[in-house]
Structure formats: C-alpha cells, structure tokens
Structure 1
C-alpha cells in the first residue's frame, strides 16, 4: 500500500487514525495503535504553589490607615536631611502609626 487516494485519507480521518495510515504508507509500522480520547479532560482548578504568592483561598491584609499629608512631608524632609548628612546611623524607633501600630512600639 503505497498509493493513497483522497478517499483513503477521508476514511482515515473519519476513523481517527490518519497518522497510522500515513506511517504505513511510508513503510513504517506504528508502535502501538493511536490512543483515542474517551472522556473530556478534567478542568478543575489546580493548587500550584508559587513562591511568594498568597495561598489559595486567602487574600492580602486590609490596607493600613491613610497617613496625613503633613506627616508625609515631615518624613520626607527628615529623610532628605539624613541623606544630605551622608546617612549617619539612625534610631530604629518610628512614631508613625504604620510603623509602630499607633506609636505603641
């Protein structure tokens, strides 16, 4: 069987074994019959861990309180002074609400 007709190809497509027909026409015997899909694939969501990602079913914490504008400006001025002073050692105590939970550090 070396000559394929369009009818042979159409019949093989209808039966789902076109690859096997083409292999046989080339003189190669297929190692095993082609596997036919019997069921639809399972499309359930997967729980794949990703480093640094939130676990499935959780969400990030609520945002912190809004920091007033004058406090932001004061912190920025303080940071700029610190940079201009060649970054001297600083204390680790910060009185702002976001850093010390209301100044209760």
Structure 2
C-alpha cells in the first residue's frame, strides 16, 4: 500500500499527524536523529537550590547620604549640561567632567 487516498489524508488531518507524515516523506522515510544532550555537571557539595552560593552574600545597601547630597549632585549635572559640552565642536580649553580635553573627530584622524 504505497498510495495514499483522500480518506487517509482526511484521517491524518483529523488526528493532526499530516505534517509529520509529509516531513517523513521529504526525508525519504528516515526519522530525524535527536542529538543527545550532555549530562549537566553535578552540583558542588553543599549546594542548596535557590540559595546564595557558599561564601557570598547579598550586596550592601547604599550608604545614607547627608541631606542635600542628591540635590547638589543634580545641580552639578545640570550645570554641566548648561555648559553645552559638545565633543564635535569643543571650545579652546573646554574640559569634560573627567578632566580630559576633548578633541574633534577630524583631529583624531
């Protein structure tokens, strides 16, 4: 029985196996070979699932800042933005907050 009838196709559609059948026909009747997964490495001794690794701890919380520290940092940042720091057009003697003197792309080429 090498011929497939309409009833066979209708039955495969109803079962949901038509796609698998057609793939099997395209590969010449050979089933695809499943690659064997390597075994996962064993857990170290004393391992607890979901716990912090041995010898580690959660990060420390951010140290409390004096009143106004965040406001001062924001003001410094806004001042830096207001200087119109533009690396493509640096003014003579213009420095970025890290202290370097920016150069243009043409000067570096």
Q: Which has the higher relative contact order, 1 or 2, with Cα contacts under 8 A spaced 6 or more apart?
A: 1
TM-score, length basis structure 1: 0.30
TM-score, length basis structure 2: 0.29
